Amino acid sequence: MVALRGKELKLNEEELEDCDVGDVDDEEFESESESEPEEVAVTEPTKNAVYNREALLEKLDDIAWPQNVEWIHKLTVDHAVEQEVDVNDDLARELAFYTQALDGTRQAFEKLQSMGIPFLRPPDYYAEMVKSDGHMLKVKGKLLVEKKKIEEAEERKKAREAKKLAKEVQAQKTKERAKRKKEDIESVKKWRKQRQQSGFARGKDEELDLSPDEEKSYEKSKKRRTGVAPGDRSGGFRRKGGNEKGTKKREFREAKFGHGGRKGMKKQNTAESTNHFKSFHKDKFSASKRQKK
């Protein structure tokens, strides 16, 4: 016991010495940083830093495995980095790491393959994994949620574009319609002029010529009215004019509270309600009568 304690004390002393050294160094650091402006300290190396190469190499020799250890014990692969990566560029850095891992794995797998030992996990080999099944379920759930989010965003984008396109098409249509109307009116005017000039002669022929035009205009007006409710007095323009948000709200409220239709039917008696005596309180009436008296 005593011996053990003695040893501990010795170790403590060693440690303390070491700590002293460390503390002194720290003080040096601080004094330097005080005298210097803030950022320069980060980039400028301290002058009196220890770097004992010989001792390091000696130590390396001490602890190193023998030179001719088979590769299978080490499983190490070296990868030459092509160019310096910027540390602050997360994507580039991670990509560099990924390529290093991929390259290293390829080399290692080639070596393993050439050795001819089994090294790949068979599909029916079940064993404990690093991450639990519960955790992997969570991961899966998160991935699904992310996928869904992306899909929804895409859908929204598509809808927006479709709306834009529809607007354009609509504008084109109205333009065309206006143009046609103008043309029609002009043609009628022309025809009138011609008739006036010709002194209302050969009326019948002209009318026959015109008849398909008239029919067309009739058709057009009918077309415009498709989808208009029979009770709608605005001729289908109300829906067009009102902003969508307002109508939506209105529709919702109507669905909730009721709008249109006959209200009176609810209050009228039916055969069932007349024969229903449960809600009829005879006493109530008589009592009230008595009170009145």
Name the segment binding another protein (CB under 8 A); options: 109-117, 150-158, 169-177, 234-242: 109-117
Contact 46, 35 (CB under 8 A): no
CA dist., res. 75 & res. 242, Å (int): 74
DSSP-derived letter for residue 153 is H
Residue 8 within binding range of another protein, rule CB under 8 A: yes
CA dist., res. 229 & res. 239, Å (int): 10
Kindly state the smallest distance separating residue 180's Cβ from another protein, in Å.
Answer: 60
Give long-range contacts, CB 8 A cutoff, 24+ apart: 86-93: none
Amino acid code (one letter) for 259:
H
Kindly state the smallest distance separating residue 126's Cβ from another protein, in Å.
Answer: 10
Residue 109 within binding range of another protein, rule CB under 8 A: yes
Residue 147 within binding range of another protein, rule CB under 8 A: no
Residue 78 within binding range of another protein, rule CB under 8 A: yes
Size of the site for another protein (CB under 8 A): 90
Please select the residue that binds another protein; options are 26, 27, 207, 209, rule is CB under 8 A: 26
Over the window 54 to 73, marking each residue x when it contacts another protein by CB under 8 A and - when it does not, the resulting string is -xxx-xxxxxxxxxxxx-xx
Over the window 220 to 249, marking each residue x when it contacts another protein by CB under 8 A and - when it does not, the resulting string is ------------------------------
Tell which residue, 33, 35, 115, 42, has the closest CA to residue 72.
115
Q: Decide whether 18 or 215 has the Cβ nearer to another protein.
A: 18
Site for another protein in 88-107 (CB under 8 A): 93, 96-98, 100-106
CA angle 225, 229, 235 (to 5 degrees): 45
Q: Decide whether 20 or 183 has the Cβ nearer to another protein.
A: 20
Kindly state the smallest distance separating residue 82's Cβ from another protein, in Å.
Answer: 10
Residue 195 within binding range of another protein, rule CB under 8 A: no
CA dist., res. 166 & res. 159, Å (int): 10
CA dist., res. 104 & res. 110, Å (int): 10
Residue 124 within binding range of another protein, rule CB under 8 A: no
Distances (CA, A) of 121 to 67, 101, 118: 30, 19, 8
Contact 27, 35 (CB under 8 A): no
Residue 254 within binding range of another protein, rule CB under 8 A: no
